[in-house]
Structure 1
Amino acid sequence: MKKHEVPYGSDVSAGSYECADCGHRYSNQSKTSLPPCPGFNPATHPKRAWNILTGAGDAPQDPYPNGR
């Protein structure tokens, strides 16, 4: 399931992602959970999510971390 904003901690496929708050780019080469943005600050990162640039995005078996 591909979503526009994928929350931190979501299990995702390999691909490229961009922080929904500050634009920092992140790429992962294997299936993994998305980390928080390296520049994360609660005051400046209210969305706490990544935009999907390439890849399949969020894993259907774990669409939201922490029961969101």
Structure 2
Amino acid sequence: MQKDLVKYGSDVSAGSYECADCGRPYSNQGKTSMPPCPDFTPGTHPKRGWKILTGVGDAVQDPYPNRR
């Protein structure tokens, strides 16, 4: 089963993402570590992750492959 959410700090493949909490769009060419949402505050971003829109999400090298 493919994940639909990647947590901040996960290694990911290129693709389009949106903040799981506020919907802010984000796209990349592949990252060694997904950044937090630029609008992140602990009180408004409890999921602390990105929803996968396109691409495959977690890269093979993801340090947390079993976390959702």
Tell me if both proteins adopt one fold, taking TM over 0.5 as the criterion: yes
4+ residue stretches of structure 1 with deviation over 3 A?
A: none
How many angstroms does 1:42 deviate by?
0.2
Q: CA deviation at 1:60?
A: 3.1
In the alignment, structure 1 segments of 5+ residues that lack a partner are none
1:3 maps onto 2:7 in alignment: no
- Give the share of equivalent positions with the same residue, in percent: 75
2:2 and 2:12 mapped to 1: Cα distance?
Answer: 10
In the superposition, the TM-score normalised over structure 1's length comes to: 0.84
Distance across 2 between alignment mates of 1:52 and 1:63: 18
Give SS of 2:9's match.
coil
* Aligned mates of 2:60, 2:2 — CA distance in 1: 9
Relative to its length, the structure with more strand (as a share) is 1
Kept in 2, the 8 Å contact 1:16–1:27? The answer is yes
Number of aligned residue pairs: give it. 65
Query: Deviation per CA, 1:11-65, whole angstroms, max 9, x where unpaired?
Result: 0000000100000000002x20210000000000000010000011112332528
User: Helix, strand or coil for the counterpart of 1:18?
Assistant: strand
CA-based RMSD of the aligned residues comes to: 1.9
